[in-house]
Each structure stands twice: as structure tokens, then as C-alpha cells.
Structure 1
Amino acid sequence: MGWKTLDDMDLAGKRVLTRVDINVPVENGRVSDATRIERIVPTLRDILSRGGKPILIAHFGRPKGKVVLSMSLRVVVPALEAALGRSVRLIETLEGAETLTEEARSADVILLENIRFYPGEEANDPAFAARLAALGDIYCNDAFSAAHRAHASTAGLAAHLPSCAGRLMQAELEALEAALGAPKRPLMAVVGGAKVSSKLDLLGNLVGQVDTLVIGGGMANTFLAAQGLSVGKSLCEHDMAPTAREIMAKAATAGCEIILPADIVVAREFAEGAAHEVLAVHLCPDDAMILDAGPQSVARVAKALDAAKTLIWNGPLGAFEITPFNAATNAAARHAASLSRAGALISVAGGGDTVAALNQAGAAEDFTYISTAGGAFLEWMEGKDLPGVAALKA
């Protein structure tokens, strides 16, 4: 792949500047979900077991180059220590990091204060990157979720130090390479969500790469309307109809089959347990909203999944947040999960609502890989070069 991992590094006695994403939710002064912290533990344990000293670089919120005390990383220290079972010392300033006391050196792990307190971070200022680099001997990037940012700690540092990917970054890159870089075919993608306009680059890239593309959610309504079908009062970007037709034409040229709903679940109100009916896709009443794909559509998606060898999933097939409009997403996700569990399908999913939808369906744990990277995952799927990954290859 062109980038190194921790396996390629001699860590003994080395200070390892490790970029991590521990931008976790906090309630009442305590970390309420430690998932992101737990996911960096393998990297930190590896560095420690091989005699390295992890010096963590992380951001929290968006202080925009100023010290904002409410965005201090101090709040994550107890959760970090609990997850690692090791002592963690927060160093409040770069000056403090440059002149560490003996007491600070005795901590197992050092955590630098919110790197976004410094304007040089988001500006990717070379002088700031050089100052950071002087704090360590090796640079390890374990924050794929920030790899789409060209910041000093995600890209600039790699120009100054021997660099590698951490275990989480490595796992993410290997999963994405398996899904889009050199996939087993047929390659299938499921793309759902509210708006075509927010996923134009994604759809444009995928139709040239995948064999089958399932389009669901509010996005599907725009494609249906572009084909001249009535979608009633459904969420729909009617002004995007020409773009939808362009995407369908590009798919036809590339030999990519697009699967749209064949039947629909409609309701007059968007509410839990709302009265609803299943109709053929061309029969949407003028006063109704399409809120999910119907059972025929799910059967067609399941058949495509049975034929596929690799699946990329981004976004739900309907209004999965409320019953009964979560049925299509749940059924398709569970089918993909069962195929993955049986070893018949490599399944990679990520981005926004996707993780929540797969968790709700009880399907997430059987997917081959679930990315929590959000924006970076989407930009990778769009075919864009990510600065944080490119820097490791340089």
C-alpha cells in the first residue's frame, strides 16, 4: 500500500508522537461514550510493550486556534486511564512539553492539550509542525477520521519524522483497500440518505467502480422523480432531476446496474406507528410521503447481495429512525450481516447514520468492518486523496 505500520518501526526508547481521535461525547463533565478511546488502545499498548513512550496529539471540539477551557482534553484523562490501565499525564502547553519535569516523564502516556488551541494546527504551518516534531522521534497517525484534514498534526508532521500508521488507521486502510482498491467482484454499494446533492461526488465515483448500486432513502425519490414518477409530498430534490439522469446514464455506460425501489411504503404523516400502506412504485398518492422501500424492493436487494462478493454500505434505505419505516434497512442489513458471518461477503460500512442504522438492525457486529470515520470515509469513497494518508506515503 505504500505506507508503513508500527511493525516497520523500532520503538525501543523512542518518543512516539501519536495522532489520535478522542473527540468523544461528554455529559456533565464525564465521557459518555468511550468508543473512540477504546479503539486506540491496541496502538498504545503496542507502543508501550515495545518500549516506546506514546505522546498523544488530539483535538476536542472546534476552538479555532484559541484556548477555550471548556474544550480542554482534561475531561478525557480518566476515561483514557481506565481504558489503558496506565497513567496518563496532560501537558497543558507546548512549552511544558518541551521542558518536561521528571514527574511528567514518569507517566506511562503523555497527552498534549487540545492541538486546535494553536492556530498553526489547522493552518498546517510548517514552523508549527517542526516544533511539534521536535517533541518526538517517530510519528504515528492513528486518526483516520481526521485524515481528510491537511493539518499540522495529520499531515505536516510526516515531513519531519519517520512515519507510520497506527493499528486503527491500518485496519481502516486495509478494509477500504479491500472494498474499493482491489475488491472481490461482483462489487455492490448501498447508498442511502436524504439528499442527492450531498452525495454527488460519491455517486459519480461509485457508478464507475461498482457492479451494482442500490439507491435508497430520500435520494431514491429524486431518482424516481427524474424518471417521471410521482413522489407525492415525499422528500425530493426536484431540481436535481437532470443530475440524477446524468448519473443513471453514466452508470449505463459503465455497466453498473442501479437498483431503485420497485415498491414503496407510504404514509400521510411522519410519526411512529403512522398508518401506512405498501404500493407499487408508480402509485404514490399526491398527498402521501414515501418513507421506506417495500418488500419486493428488499427481495431484489437481497438477491443482489447473494450474488455479490464485496459490499460498501453508506446510509439507510428509509426513515429508519421510526417504526415501521425501518423495515427495509433492517431486513437488508441483516441479510448482509448473515452473508458476512458465513464468509460469503466482505462488507464495509461507514458514515453518519449508517452506524446507527446497522446497530439498530443488530447487524453491525457481523459486518466485516464498520468505519466510524464519517467525513474521511465518505471522501475515500468519493475517490479523493486524503492528506493524512498521502503524507504517510510520501
Structure 2
Amino acid sequence: MAWKTLDDMDLAGNRVLTRVDINVPVEDGQVTDATRMERIAPTVSDILKAGGHPVLLAHFGRPKGQRVAEMSLQPLIPALEKALGANVVFAADCVGPAAEAAVAALQPGQVLLLENTRFHPGEEKNDADLAADMARLGDIYCNDAFSAAHRAHASTEALARLLPCCAGRLMQAELSALEAALGAPKRPVVAVVGGAKVSTKLELLSNLVEKVDVLVIGGGMANTFLAAQGIDVGKSLCEHEMAGTVKEIVEKAAQAGCELLLPRDVVIAWEFKAGAKNEVVMADECPADAMILDAGPKSVAHIARAFEQASTLIWNGPLGAFEIAPFDAATNAAAAQAAQLSKEGKLVSVAGGGDTVAALNKSGAAADFTYISTAGGAFLEWMEGKVLPGVAALS
């Protein structure tokens, strides 16, 4: 492990500048999903228990270096206090006199939330002077925002190089889970990659075919793979122009000894709406006026067998149009199988990405996965084999 954790730091009496991601959804001034706040609670709790003073750095929205009242972090405090179980005080800036006064006034047991880092143009430019101003507010830097680690920003990258630094509990858990899934996994390794378009996951697919033993292709991108084989997919979502690229991925997989699992049978419909008339047909039997909206039961059984033979599973993206029943059936069934194997200790299952988390939560299977990442872009870039600036800086 190249990075330190909170256990390696002397926190007592020290100001711990802690980068968190509390970029949560808000409607009518109320936080509608506090998951990201809840996930940082162990870090804040451990800092407080050790006698440290947590000073939280965070962004909210995309103010583009301007002060935007609607993107202030102050309204998040009631939800944050509930999630952390601690008294949270606020500073109207993340640097300068207001921040310095708030840090100086911080009492034992209190948590300080600094204003939106992105109110400063230097944040997204990874400005050294802004990072230096932030560094003056703390004695130790702790990064607990894996979901922002793929961005080289002042509060995620430059700041880590100015203070003794470590990973927070969430960052530690994310990195440990991803290392277990892709770094040094127990084999065989199966990856599920779904979603609408091949074009958005080219680097991911190219990296995975060299890292995993079986690659399950689902969602709209499976249609593109089928079409590249000369199969008529009717009116299905499909990137026909990606046929050449798909053939290259198939060839690369063959050379690497990675088995590709494409749908054997599919669920088709003539309109995309809840409860639409649908049929199950073989993958090469989609009528010209219909569209493929999910994988069929034979495909799910094939995927389930791959899961049973695997030791490690990485999942990114649904197998069908999971948002609307009955086109969530394949995702739900495969997720339930992965969850059961994980619960029995037979499978290490790691999943992440926005649609993935939503689909697994909807299926009811998420709780029994080994690890569900709350990160979107960072999770994907890690799976693509890229170096994440926020993680590299901790080394």
C-alpha cells in the first residue's frame, strides 16, 4: 500500500483538512439523498475520536470560479449534521480571513465545513497559490473523496503535496476494493459492462479484455456488438458506425484469452414504455420493426453460470433498459445471483458507476455486493487503467 491511512497519522490536537464529496442532490432546499454524506461519517468520526479537528473541503455544482448563491454549501449543514452525528459550523470561504477565523474558533468535537472550493477559479486549475492558502488552515491533509480523485484540482492534488497526507476511510475502502477487483484479483475474474454506447466505454473495454477472464456485454452496447457480427437488430439503439472498432475489441479479447458473453436471446418490444407488449426471441431473430430492450432468460442463465465459476466480479452498467419494467428483468436476476454468491462468500463483487448503483439499488441486490462504489468518473477511469491524480498525490 503506497498511501497512508488515518491510522498512520498523529491526529490529536491537529487540524485535519479533509477533502470530501458531498455533492448531493437537492430539491426545494432539501437534500434528497444523503448517501455521500453518510459515507464520509467514519472518517470524520475517527478524526474526532483521535482528538483531531476535522476541517472539510468540498465542492458543490459547477459555479465555474464564481460565487453562486445557489451553490453554497451552507444549506447542506442540517443534513450533514444528521449524517455525521456531530455539530457542524460553517465558514463563508475556503481560504482567507473568514476561513482562518473559523479554524481558530473550532472547538473540540466540532466539525468545520468550508465554503465551496469551486467558488475560486484556481480550484479547477490546480493552482499552487490557492492550495498554499488552503494548506495554511491545516496540519494534516486527508483525502476522502475518491469520486473526485480523477480531477487534478487544488484541493485534491496540489494540496496533498503541501502537508503530511493520508487517505480517509472511504478512500481507503474504495482503493482496497478496486485493488482486490483489478489490481491483484482472485481468478477467474468476470466483468459486466453495460450501458447505451460502446463509444463512451472504448478505453474501459480495451483495458478489461486484457485483465479479465470473461467479459459480459449488456445494454445498448450489446446491440452494437451483435450488429457488428452482421445480425439485424431492427430499431434497437445501436452504433452501426462502431462496427470496425467492435471487431478490433473482439480480436483483442481473443488474443488475450478473454471470453466475450453476448446475449443469446433478447427481449424485444415495439415501443419503450412500462408494461409494453414484449417477446423473447433469439438474438438473431429481432424483427425489423422491433427493438431489443433487455437480455433474455437463456442469456441470464449463461451469465449466472459464469458468476458461479468466478471468484471476482466487476460490474459497470445495466444489462437492459432497467429504468422501466419489464426490461429490468435481466439486470435484476443477474444482480440477485451475484449478491447471493457474495453473501455466501463465494464471490468478491465490486460495482460502480451512476447507472450501475441505481440499477443495483432498484434490484434490491446492492446490500449484498462486497463493495458498491459511490464514484462515477473516478471508478470508470480506474477500470480503464488510468492514473488518478488525487490518488497518485497521496503516494
Tell me the CA shift for residue 104 of structure 1: 4.8
- Residues 338 and 366 in structure 1, CA contact (< 8 A), matched pair in contact too: yes
How many residue pairs match? The answer is: 393
The DSSP-based 3-state class of the residue aligned with 2:266 is strand
Match of 2:326 in 1: 324
**1:381 paired to 2:383:** yes
The DSSP-based 3-state class of the residue aligned with 1:229 is coil
Match of 2:71 in 1: 71
Which TM-score applies when normalising by structure 1? 0.98
Could you list the per-position Cα deviations for residues 201-244 of structure 1 after superposition, in whole angstroms to 9, with x for gaps in the alignment? Answer: 10000001000000011000000000011000000000000000
Quick one: which of 215, 229, 233 aligns to 2:231? 229
Quick one: which of 101, 123, 126 aligns to 1:124? 126
Match of 2:135 in 1: 133
- Residues 31 and 75 in structure 1, CA contact (< 8 A), matched pair in contact too: no
Tell me the CA shift for residue 99 of structure 1: 3.2
Name the amino acid aligned to 2:86: R
Structure 1 residues 219 and 90: alpha-carbon distance in aligned structure 2, compared to 1, 3 A threshold? same
Name the amino acid aligned to 1:58: A
RMSD over aligned Cα atoms: 1.1
Q: Distance in 1 between matches of 2:172 and 2:310?
A: 25
Farther off after superposition, 318-327 or 94-103: 94-103
Q: Distance in 2 between matches of 1:85 and 1:119?
A: 32
Alignment of 1:290-369 (within 5 A): 290-369=292-371
Q: Distance in 2 between matches of 1:240 and 1:82?
A: 48
Quick one: which of 262, 275, 283 aligns to 2:285? 283
Farther off after superposition, 52-61 or 106-115: 106-115
Alignment of 1:179-198 (within 5 A): 179-198=181-200
Q: Distance in 2 between matches of 1:106 and 1:11?
A: 12
Could you list the per-position Cα deviations for residues 352-372 of structure 1 after superposition, in whole angstroms to 9, with x for gaps in the alignment? Answer: 110111111110000000001
- Residues 53 and 108 in structure 2, CA contact (< 8 A), matched pair in contact too: no
Q: Distance in 2 between matches of 1:92 and 1:152?
A: 18
Farther off after superposition, 102-111 or 286-295: 102-111
Match of 1:5 in 2: 5
Tell me the CA shift for residue 100 of structure 1: 3.7
Farther off after superposition, 85-94 or 372-381: 85-94
Tell me the CA shift for residue 80 of structure 1: 1.5
- Residues 225 and 246 in structure 2, CA contact (< 8 A), matched pair in contact too: yes
Tell me the CA shift for residue 347 of structure 1: 0.1
Match of 1:392 in 2: 394
Could you list the per-position Cα deviations for residues 316-349 of structure 1 after superposition, in whole angstroms to 9, with x for gaps in the alignment? Answer: 1111111111111111110011000000000000
**1:23 paired to 2:34:** no
Q: Distance in 2 between matches of 1:10 and 1:364?
A: 35
Q: Distance in 2 between matches of 1:323 and 1:82?
A: 34
Tell me the CA shift for residue 85 of structure 1: 2.5
Q: Distance in 2 between matches of 1:24 and 1:361?
A: 22
Alignment of 1:17-56 (within 5 A): 17-56=17-56
The DSSP-based 3-state class of the residue aligned with 1:258 is strand
Name the amino acid aligned to 1:122: E
Q: Distance in 2 between matches of 1:202 and 1:382?
A: 4
Q: Distance in 2 between matches of 1:361 and 1:243?
A: 32
Alignment of 1:51-130 (within 5 A): 51-93=51-93, 94=95, 95-100=97-102, 103-105=105-107, 108-130=110-132
Q: Distance in 1 between matches of 2:362 and 2:303?
A: 19
Name the amino acid aligned to 1:60: F
- Residues 156 and 390 in structure 2, CA contact (< 8 A), matched pair in contact too: yes
Tell me the CA shift for residue 260 of structure 1: 0.1
Match of 1:177 in 2: 179
Tell me the CA shift for residue 103 of structure 1: 4.9
Quick one: which of 166, 169, 174 aligns to 2:168? 166
- Residues 103 and 137 in structure 2, CA contact (< 8 A), matched pair in contact too: no
Q: Distance in 2 between matches of 1:107 and 1:77?
A: 16
